[in-house]
Amino acid sequence: MTEQASENGHDYRRVLLKISGEALMGDGSYGIAPQMVDTIAGDVAAVAQSGVEVCLVIGGGNIFRGVAAAARGMDRAQGDYAGMLATVINALMVQNALERHGVPTRVMSAIHMSSVAEPYIRRRAVRHMEKGRVVIFAAGTGNPFFTTDTAAALRAAEMDCDALLKGTQVDGVYSADPRKDGNATRFETLTYLDVLAKDLHVMDAAAISLARENRLPIVVFNIHAPGAFSRVMRGEGLFTRIVEAR
Ligand code: UDP
């Protein structure tokens, strides 16, 4: 634990939170539920205002996924670019909600669109966080054939984050889908290799490998439980940690 981390009472000095596009849909099946965005923004605001440096990667699956479009006959790379633009829409929504909670934010896009977002520049992103701004990394990695999970692992490594938090619809990683299988059990801790070998679908293999190479702990928790992000930062509540060794 770093000096700054112990001063603010958290286990972490700087973290990256990955929020899937689907998390923004609420109970809907497409698009953005403003109430859900506001709830998530409130949680992020509480953590940021407690002194932890926070950056975000937001997916785009609530609007557009390249793989799904390719299955319907669209060129995959073209579909992926559309998917990356979807993440920018989500980023602007979350930025707006965070600012309503009094949190200064910057959206940095991996695809240049200077009228709506800053270009992604690593050192500038670090500076924003040092000044207490929440940085939202939009447009994934900027490359087709990748996912925002991989973008999250990449940016977390670049930002030298203490952990990559993945906010999902369930409170950790289970042996099977707990919404379908009553016997599913939640893992407290897993290794990166467990996730790959058991094919647990927490994040894609590229993201897990990147986290492993950079010794970046991944913490999986339920983003829909109000206040869960703050609790996880204090080591409370339910979550699964993915690390090098159990
Ligand atoms: N995408 C991409 N490169 C990236 C990140 C995302 O091409 O580095 C595209 C891809 O088409 C993906 C879509 O953006 O399906 C939305 O991202 P993702 O599926 O990761 O969102 P999530 O599942 O987190 O909502």
Q: What's residue 1's pLDDT?
A: 44
Write down the pTM of the prediction.
Answer: 0.96
Average pLDDT over residues 77-98: 98
How sure is the predictor about 11, in pLDDT bands with cuts at 50, 70 and 90? confident
Q: What's residue 2's pLDDT?
A: 47
How sure is the predictor about 10, in pLDDT bands with cuts at 50, 70 and 90? low
Distance from the CA of 4 to the center of ligand 1, in angstroms? Answer: 33
* Gyration radius of the chain's alpha carbons: 17
Element (H, E) at 218: strand 218-222
Query: 151-194, pLDDT tens digit by residue?
Result: 999 999 999 999 999 999 899 999 998 889 999 999 999 999 99
Does 20 sit in the ligand 1 pocket, CB within 6 Å? yes
Question: Nearest 5 degrees, angle CA 7-CA 57-CA 66?
Answer: 165
Does 61 sit in the ligand 1 pocket, CB within 6 Å? yes
Residues with Cβ < 8 Å from 87, sequence gap 6 or more? 21, 58, 59, 60, 138, 139, 140, 148
Rounded to whole angstroms, the Cα distance separating 181 from 162 reads: 33
How sure is the predictor about 7, in pLDDT bands with cuts at 50, 70 and 90? low
| DSSP code at position 28 | S
Kindly state the tokens that stand for 180: 């379908």
Q: Which domain holds residue 212?
A: 3-243
Pocket test for ligand 1, best of 24, 25, 65 (most atoms within 8 A of CB): 65
Please provide residue 56's backbone torsions phi and psi, each rounded to the nearest 5 degrees.
-130, 145
Kindly state the tokens that stand for 83: 């998917």
What CATH number did the domain enclosing 40 receive? 3.40.1160.10
Kindly state the tokens that stand for 50: 């407690």
How sure is the predictor about 60, in pLDDT bands with cuts at 50, 70 and 90? very high
Letter for the amino acid at 198?
K
Does 148 sit in the ligand 1 pocket, CB within 6 Å? yes
Output the residue whose Cα is nearest ligand 1's atom 19.
Answer: 61
Structural domain count of the chain: 1
Residue 35 in marked binding region? no
